[in-house]
Amino acid sequence: MHSSTTAISLDKKFAQFTDHWSPKKIATLNDYEIKIVKIKGEFVWHTHADTDELFLVVKGNLRIQLRDGDVPLGPGDLFVVPHGVEHCPIAEEEAEVMLIEPVGVTNTGDVGGPRTAALDDWT
């Protein structure tokens, strides 16, 4: 359990794993989960019907593909995918990303499949 008087080091948390597309919950903020994930390659096209999804790039570069154009993101950039908007994250090289989503959001949204990951709780 994380102490409420201790800062969370993103660098240290990211150094603890190497797998891609497997989010780790590192904190909770009210009804939201703060997650980190390493991304490499292309994910699956999907939507989240009932919630927006925030991507914040910590390291590397990420492109959020949307049906009407791509959103390129670099370190320090964030983008909120509105609920119901089909999207597909892609990173040519490994990227370290923070996600902020309501509790219980599945990473593959409405499509499921082999990329659906159980959320690792690192709080």
Fold of 38-106: Jelly Rolls (2.60.120)
**Nearest of 95, 82, 88, 75 to residue 53 by alpha carbon:** 82
Closest CA to 20 of 121, 95, 70: 95
Whether residue 55 has pLDDT greater than 80: yes
With cut-offs at 50, 70 and 90, classify the pLDDT of residue 82.
Answer: very high
Task: Tell me the domain boundaries of the chain.
Answer: 38-106
What is the model's pLDDT at position 5?
Answer: 80
CA distances in angstroms from 4 to 8, 13, 90, listed in the order given: 10, 16, 34
Cα 63 to the center of its chain, rounded Å: 12
